[in-house]
A and B are shown apart, each in its own frame.
Chain A
Amino acid sequence: MTTAAPGEASPATADAAGRAPARPAARRGRPGRRRASLRMGLEILFFVGPALILFGVFVVWPIARAVQFSLYRWKGFGPLVDFVGLQNYVSVLTNEVFTDAFRHNMTIVVLSILVQLPVGLGIALLLNRKMRFQGMLRTIIFVPYVLSEVIAGVVWLQLLQPEYGVIDTVLGAVGISGPEEGWLGTPEVALYTVFVVLTWKYLGLAVLLFLAGLQGVPDELVEAAQIDGASWWQVQRRVTVPLLGPTIRTWGFLSMIGAIQLFDMVWILTGGGPANSTTTMATFLITEGTKRYNYGIATAASVILFAVALVLAVLYQIFVLRRDVAQADAGSRRVR
């Protein structure tokens, strides 16, 4: 790419390269400038166009259709004629199963931060030290994340079988008996069981991100702290973890969005049961749509899910990522 579009927060070199060919045109006066801006517009259109079309077809259009469907009572086939206004939204929001599903999603969001963050951070700090089998340990931690969600789910489903499953057998051998109806069959523990499996699956991502973040912590700072007599623990607490802040906040965002969208693992392990104790907003809308053919209600639920995800993302952006974003903006301004 010889001409980068100006105005982009790009490194100084690319910026300069972009300006160079524009200068002779400016000398030719107004018509030239107009031509130049036209060319620039075409350039932007050329590069952004394809992405914009894809975005429109696969993102904007489906959302618009979903909003449209959500205003009708529709069984998934036949013409769209039975307009019901916001009735589908009312029925979703007053449905106990959906409000429970929302609570389950939020439980997973909170638990992820409370459990996966400290554990992931601890493992990352340990794995960052020079030790034997470092590469192998990192791989082991990361493997579950690479594994297909469906395969991992089916394996855990078998492990967690009541009576005949490996986990109950092992626990039984040491004299511990699991819940009578099994880990996934008892409404009170099923959600937490699912969370344990999710943690096993997604801890690897947290560790990987934190390890990458740790590479960005300058050795000089650590050495300076050590010279000042800081212990390993103090170095981590006062130097490393604070510098890891942006990475942690980004991970928190990914984790939150993942938890709000949660579907596959729940679908395989419990299908939302027993007694709706593990339903999520996504399993709710799939059940309403593909099992009950209440596509109007299902799309209303999906629009609500979209709104929830959007609002949380924006709030997170404003309150948590604000500092990181401000720094990035300041950084790009300095470069220019």
Chain B
Amino acid sequence: MRTTTVVRAVAVGAALAVLTACGTGSDSSSDDASASTGSSGPVTISWWHNSNTDPGKGYYDEVAKTFEASHPGVTIQVNAMQHEDMLTKLDAAFQSGDAPDIYMERGGGELADHVAAGLTQDISESAKDAIETVGGSVAGWQVDGKTYALPFSVGVVGFWYNKSLFEKAGITSPPTTMDELNAAVDKLKAAGISPVSVGAGDKWPAAHYWYYLALRECPKQVLQDAVKSLDFSDPCFIKAGEDLQKVIGTKPFNKGFLSTPAQTGPTSASGLLATGKVAMEMQGHWEPGVMQGLTEDKKGLGEDTGWFPFPAVTGGQGDQSAALGGGDAWAVAKDAPPAAVDFVKYLLSDEVQKGFAERDMGLPTNPAAGGSVKDPALSGLLKVRDEAPYVQLYFDTAFGQSVGGAMNDEIALMFAGKASPQDIVEKTQQAADAEK
């Protein structure tokens, strides 16, 4: 009895320790041989992507085949995975030093960490032309002036709304200032409609509010400096928190928003909008696709889908038409053969990006593909993105998960009425100082 109890106690702790100890600190000792074979010999390139449903899945298989046909000796191992699965597997792959040759990068601080750990290849020279084609969007995937990935889809965050519910509440045009937004919320409430849903349970949808308000309050230069110096002492960050407190004070959110998930199930924030239970939600460009998956007829809001940009803040020092956004880029692993870079360039070519756009797989970054987007909501968004003076990468991505996570936590606490504007800045600064 005695020994079994102790063993059990040890096992209990050990099991938990195992949870976190599954990685090894080995430096990337994977095959350098494949890199030295060059483009002449037969090479196999592994490619992980998250378009695991058609038409995306089929299209990417087709793209890989076309590339193989024009590049004899190159075999592309396509691995289509569900998004969350892919992220988990990527984490494990990075830990074991066995990363795929081509994978998805979200940019910002996360990419900077990968670069610092020597996981990602500098493609500034090898993909020069493609970088020029993509243009300004590539900024989020640059570290110290070098480019490490090519963004293939970049979108912006804004309010998705239900046109018929707005009409029912007597709102004639989408709000353009915070005051108008408050007025719209009041009208919706008066009509017995729950105005806004937010998935504060997942934290990042709530954090987007603070990000946007900071974007409106802080001049571009301040934000750009903050990303580099991780210094949040400018008073505009406090103002963003004060603005957010005002928004929360009007109680615009769905019942139980503190525990509402972002997009899982019909009672998630996106589900509530898709099923007509709330009038609007602030979300990224993926929202129509998410809503389609959450309704039985696979149409989402259909004809009722509307979109308006985040309203302007009167007196804000920031750019009132700048957009918050982000996207996905193809990155090449440190030891990947040159053919992998060629394939990434091909993925960003006019041809592939047009096909990508035609299938509504995202918002293409190659300007030549801009006209090919079919979905009216998406093509409207594309216009907003391209007309925005600049697109700020989501703060949590830009600052990296460690700082971004602390920031999101504190913003979520503000939604629960348990953090002040100062708390958000302080906790973010604390996490940032720990990084330095």
Contacts and interface: CB of A to CB of B under 8 A. Distances in A.
Interface in B413-428: 413, 416, 418
Contact of B17 (A180, A257, A302): A302
B267 A274 contact: no
A15 B91 CA distance: 53
B116 A314 contact: no
Nearest to A186: B258
A78 B116 contact: yes
B86 to A, nearest CB: 14
A43 interface: no
B19 interface: yes
A162 B256 contact: yes
Interface string B335-352: 000000000000000000
B434 interface: yes
Contacts of B259: 181-182, 184-185, 190, 270, 273-274
A218 interface: no
Interface string A35-68: 0000000000000000000000011101101100
A236 interface: no
A66 B277 CA distance: 47
A69 B20 contact: yes
A274 B416 contact: yes
Interface stretch (A144-152, A200-208, A237-245, A282-290): A282-290
Contact of A271 (B8, B11, B23, B201): B201
A69 B95 CA distance: 13
B5 interface: yes
Interface string B128-148: 000000000000000000000
A313 B6 contact: yes
Nearest to B28: A78
A163 interface: yes
B20 A185 contact: no
Interface string B228-253: 00000000000000000000000000
Given A182-B255, A270-B259, A274-B259, A295 B267 contact: no
A201 B432 CA distance: 41
B18 interface: yes
B14 interface: yes
B257 A79 contact: no
Nearest to A97: B409
A291 B401 contact: yes
A325 B9 contact: no
Interface in A298-336: 298-299, 302-303, 305-307, 309-310, 313-314, 317, 321, 324-325, 328-329
Contact of A313 (B9, B14, B116, B119): B9
Given A69-B21, A273-B201, A292-B405, A187 B418 contact: yes
Contact of B1 (A91, A97, A325): A325
Contact of B10 (A59, A184, A282, A303): A59
A102 interface: no
Contact of B5 (A289, A305, A313): A313
A161 interface: yes
B113 interface: yes
Given A181-B257, A187-B418, A314 B9 contact: yes
A62 B256 contact: no
A78 B117 contact: yes
A212 interface: no
Contacts of B1: 321, 324-325, 328
A307 B12 CA distance: 10
Contacts of B400: 293
B23 A275 contact: no
Given A275-B416, A302-B19, A310-B13, A162 B255 contact: yes
A292 B402 contact: yes
B256 A184 contact: yes
Contacts of B413: 275-276
A261 interface: yes
B49 interface: no
Contacts of A184: 256, 259
B114 interface: yes
Nearest to A258: B12
B118 interface: yes
A78 B27 contact: yes
A158 B267 contact: yes
A98 interface: no
A226 B363 CA distance: 82
Given A75-B117, A78-B118, A324-B1, A181 B255 contact: yes
Contacts of A302: 16-17, 19-21
A310 B10 contact: yes
A312 to B, nearest CB: 8
Nearest to B194: A163
A232 interface: no
A300 B216 CA distance: 39
Interface string B11-41: 1111111111111111100000000000000
Contacts of B257: 181, 185
Given A161-B267, A187-B416, A292-B402, A76 B19 contact: no
B143 to A, nearest CB: 15
A133 interface: no
A154 B74 CA distance: 45
B383 interface: no
A158 B119 CA distance: 41
A320 to B, nearest CB: 11
Given A78-B119, A161-B267, A253-B5, A298 B405 contact: no
Nearest to A300: B20
Contact of A63 (B17, B117, B119, B258): B17
A309 B12 contact: yes
Contacts of B95: 76-77
B274 interface: no
A66 B23 CA distance: 10
Interface in B49-97: 88, 91, 94-95
Interface of B: 1-2, 5-6, 8-27, 88, 91, 94-95, 113-114, 116-119, 200-203, 255-260, 265, 267, 277, 400-402, 405-406, 409, 412-413, 416, 418, 434
17 contacts: A69-B25, A162-B255, A163-B255, A164-B267, A181-B257, A184-B256, A257-B9, A273-B203, A273-B259, A276-B409, A282-B19, A286-B19, A293-B401, A298-B20, A303-B17, A313-B12, A328-B1
Given A78-B117, A79-B25, 8 more contacts: A180-B255, A186-B258, A253-B5, A261-B15, A275-B416, A292-B401, A292-B405, A306-B13
Identify the 8 closest CB pairs spanning chains A and B, nearest first.
A78-B117, A306-B13, A162-B256, A80-B25, A182-B256, A313-B9, A274-B258, A275-B416
